[in-house]
Amino acid sequence: MSSPELTVFSSNGLYQVEILPESGWMSGTINTGNHRNNEQLRDEAIAVADSIEPIASGLEKSSTCTDSRERIGLEGSEHPQGVTRQTAGGILISAFAAAEELGGDFYSRPVRESDSPTRLRYVRDALVSSGFLIGSHVDCGAVKLFDAVNANGLSYATQPGYVSRVSRLVPEDIADQGYRTLAIAGRADKRVRRNLYDDYSVAAVENIVRESTGYAIEHLNDDGRGVHGHRESSISYRRHNIGNVALNPNALSANYDLQSFGVDGSLVHDIAEAVSNGSEDLYAGASYAMAHFNSAAHSALGKNLPTFLISSNDLA
């Protein structure tokens, strides 16, 4: 589709964007069969980088999903919550994917052997105690399909292009541990086959979110275009050290009529630190588990979506 060497810069020169092609592992319906030339990819990557803004005051430890549809407002409010960082399913669900990988190294023994809502509440309580604000949005794919994402992830993780891409999403000092991806995917698939999520439900997740402090359920706009309003044509991944900024999906839509699944490596980093209790190995395991979960979720939803790997431009 494109050369893996394509690199562009935001209009203000603050961000460098490396364009990583998708090499055939994705299996979803969003943007199926869409192929753009290099010039179109460059223009789109610049538009995404130009839509990065400072995180709204007070939302530094909040999140929204990777979904790029227009933000309408929170439950009981007509106003969007403001620019905030993104990860699959929001903080709670990505952290749950990490916690499930860490198992007894994170959960107490009674909790580890309890049902999934109990484990989710344990994760939520740990996050809230670390200062995170817990939220979700209506009909979130990563929430609704948590078990399916974990089951499907194994097929993606057998493909070298996918494994290589996951290794690009984690901090450089653990990026040589690509073997982790297949092992993590295998364990996640095994948990599904052991029926550990038979008691998991969207209603349980939303109840747990509403019980927590912080922000609750967000409403997004289905404008009838694409797949239930989804028209994402790329995945934008901000590196973990990019700073206190995030993609503004509403600005990207208003200014360029584009959507891009967004993930903030800085948020993944903060979650991994919160669940690893100072252990470098657990931090690496949590980081890879969330990089895989984000990647598997997007692979189940999309097709032919390049990744825009965004980092600070050190020469700016």
In a domain, 164, yes or no: yes
In a domain, 57, yes or no: yes
pLDDT over threshold 80, residue 76: no
Q: In which band, very low, low, confident or very high, does the pLDDT at 227 lie, cut at 50, 70 and 90?
A: confident
pTM for this predicted structure: 0.93
In a domain, 61, yes or no: yes
Strands 217-220 and 245-247, bridge-based pairing: unpaired
pLDDT tens, position by position, 126-178:
999 999 988 777 677 788 889 999 999 999 999 999 999 999 999 998 887 66
pLDDT tens, position by position, 185-194:
999 999 999 9
Q: In which band, very low, low, confident or very high, does the pLDDT at 3 lie, cut at 50, 70 and 90?
A: very low
CA dihedral for 34, 37, 40, 46, sign (positive or negative): positive
| Rg of the chain, C-alpha, whole Å | 18
In a domain, 108, yes or no: yes
How big is the CA angle at 197 (ends 284 and 267), to the nearest 5 degrees? 35
Residue 192's alpha-carbon distances to 154, 282, 296, in angstroms, are 11, 22, 15
pLDDT over threshold 60, residue 1: no
Report DSSP state, residue 254: H
Q: What pLDDT is attached to residue 217? A: 75
Q: In which band, very low, low, confident or very high, does the pLDDT at 112 lie, cut at 50, 70 and 90?
A: very high
Strands 52-54 and 245-247, bridge-based pairing: antiparallel
Q: What pLDDT is attached to residue 200? A: 94
Identify the three-state secondary structure at position 240. coil
In a domain, 103, yes or no: yes
In a domain, 2, yes or no: no
263 close to 116: Cβ distance less than 8 angstroms: no
Give CA–CA dist 103/159, Å, rounded. 26
In a domain, 220, yes or no: yes
In a domain, 1, yes or no: no
Could you report how far apart the first and last alpha carbons of the chain are, in Å? 30
Give CA–CA dist 66/138, Å, rounded. 13
Q: Which of 34-43, 107-116, 274-283 has the lowest mean pLDDT?
A: 34-43
pLDDT tens, position by position, 9-18:
999 999 999 9
Q: How many domains does the chain have?
A: 1
Q: Which domain holds residue 236?
A: 7-312
293 close to 249: Cβ distance less than 8 angstroms: no
